[in-house]
Structure 1
Amino acid sequence: MYYHTVQIDFNTDGIRNRGSKELMTPKLLAALDKCKLSDRDAVHIIISTADALGNDVSKLIINRSTIHRDRIRFRENITIELQKQFNLIEKECLVLHWDGKLLPDITHGKLKVDRLPVIVLFEEITQLLGVPKLKSGTGEQQANAIFDIINNWGVTNKV
């Protein structure tokens, strides 16, 4: 059996010491997403790894809400980079495909949710534009989700 000793510092002056060193990098955030780790699991793994590597974890900014914010910001930046890379606005004609799927909800693993993968084809290239969550799988919900996606990519008049 493995036991871990925890030293608790009771700060008597009532001031809580917080970490001040950023730890999250794009590479680490991508690894967390690729391994499908929850924010809480990521906190445990990062703290254990930082401690094992000899870092003073009290000086690091490692908490669930910070990891959650950093992951959202990272995903937004990736989306912007993909939009720049594919630059669909300059294309003459795009072919749009979508297909509703009932998939496990990433926030509640046992629940199923309607998802709508939206793909665009151009010059023998396939690009996933988004996979929005739908309240229901009705045609109206799908049409609204598709319009929002192609509007975000700036290609409403190219499809």
Structure 2
Amino acid sequence: MREISAQSQYCGQNDLRAHFGLGDATTVQSISVEWPSGATEGFDNVSGDQFINITEGEGLKVGSFQTETKDLIIYPNPAKEVLNIKSKSQVQIASVKVYTVSGQLAMSIMGTNQTATIDVSGLAAGQYFLRIHSDQGSHQAKFTKE
């Protein structure tokens, strides 16, 4: 159990983030949050290697995602059947992972080079997050599936 509080001593301030190491695990089996209001929320099978934000009554949100990246073009947004990812420069895309707003891995595509076309027709309508790994680092973006 980790308790998160704003301060623990006079004129002190604590970090409002909790960091958890997973070792070799790739997912967190379950997260349970007991709020000061008395409410309890639980989340199962949350993907690791990410920042998440949990707000009482609003569920999990994958953190720090932006809608555009400086090196990649993602279109169309919203997408119905396919989502295209194209490099603005010579960025080599190594993998693309699609996550639901609750942090669940929805699909994973490996080795796409400079352009990726992702079939999103099998995804339910809603918001999704992309994590794109390339030779230039990691890129994040958000898209809507209609």
RCO comparison, higher one (Cα < 8 Å, 6+): 2
Greater gyration radius: 1
Question: TM tier, shorter chain?
Answer: under 0.3
